Amino acid sequence: MTIETFRRTMAETKYIPAGSELHLAFHAFSQEALKITAKLNGQYHTPDEVRQMMAELTASEIDETFGMFPPFYTDCGKNIKLGKRVFINAGCQFQDQGGIEIGDDVLIGPQTIIATLNHDPNSEKRGGMIPKPVKIGNKVWLGARVTICPGVTIGEGAIVGAGAVVTKDVTPRTVVAGVPARIFRTV
């Protein structure tokens, strides 16, 4: 399966049966992601080298304004879209099969987790997966150790406080925090 076919299929798919062609494509992309992230995380790299490895990992062009402090972890990599002037701090984990779109001028705090898949709640089909993309708008700031659950959209200019678990969409220019995250004020 090509990367473009994978991305298009994931955007249209509501359910992925365990063992299906699409599920097996996850595993192939995962092996490549493990190889690239092991190299990325295993030693020091210049900012240009980090961008080159992220371009290889995501199979897309990465803007020269992108910055990241490794380590970085992902179990796919091919369904991450990064805007301009994005900074990803150390220890972040992206489960991107369902799609992660990050806008411009976004700051992502250390050890942030972004998930885009849920397993089938039916225990007889638990290996099946339900993809839901995550979208992060322009000028968003995610604090340290934020967890973003599948299907969440974070609106432009929002701030997500450290340690928050975001289970629902965040409206633009609001500050959310807590478990689950709730609105504290507007900015």
| pLDDT one-digit tens code per residue, 86-98 | 999 999 999 999 9
Q: Quick one: pLDDT at residue 167?
A: 98
Q: What is the pLDDT of residues 109-165, one digit of tens each?
A: 999 999 999 999 999 999 999 999 999 999 999 999 999 999 999 999 999 999 999
As a whole number, mean pLDDT of residues 14-22 equals 92
Beta-carbon contacts of 150 under 8 Å, excluding residues fewer than 6 positions away, are 98, 115, 116, 117, 118, 130, 131, 132, 133, 134
Nearest to 15, CA basis, from 141, 106, 126: 126
Q: Quick one: pLDDT at residue 27?
A: 86
> What is the reported pTM?
0.96
119 is catalytic: yes
- 138 against 19, higher pLDDT: 138
Q: Quick one: pLDDT at residue 1?
A: 83
Q: Quick one: pLDDT at residue 26?
A: 83
Structure tokens, 9: 């299929």
Report whether pLDDT(59) > 90: yes
Q: Which residue has the tokens 């996850």?
A: 26
Q: Quick one: pLDDT at residue 25?
A: 86
Superfamily (CATH) of domain 3-186: Hexapeptide repeat proteins (2.160.10.10)
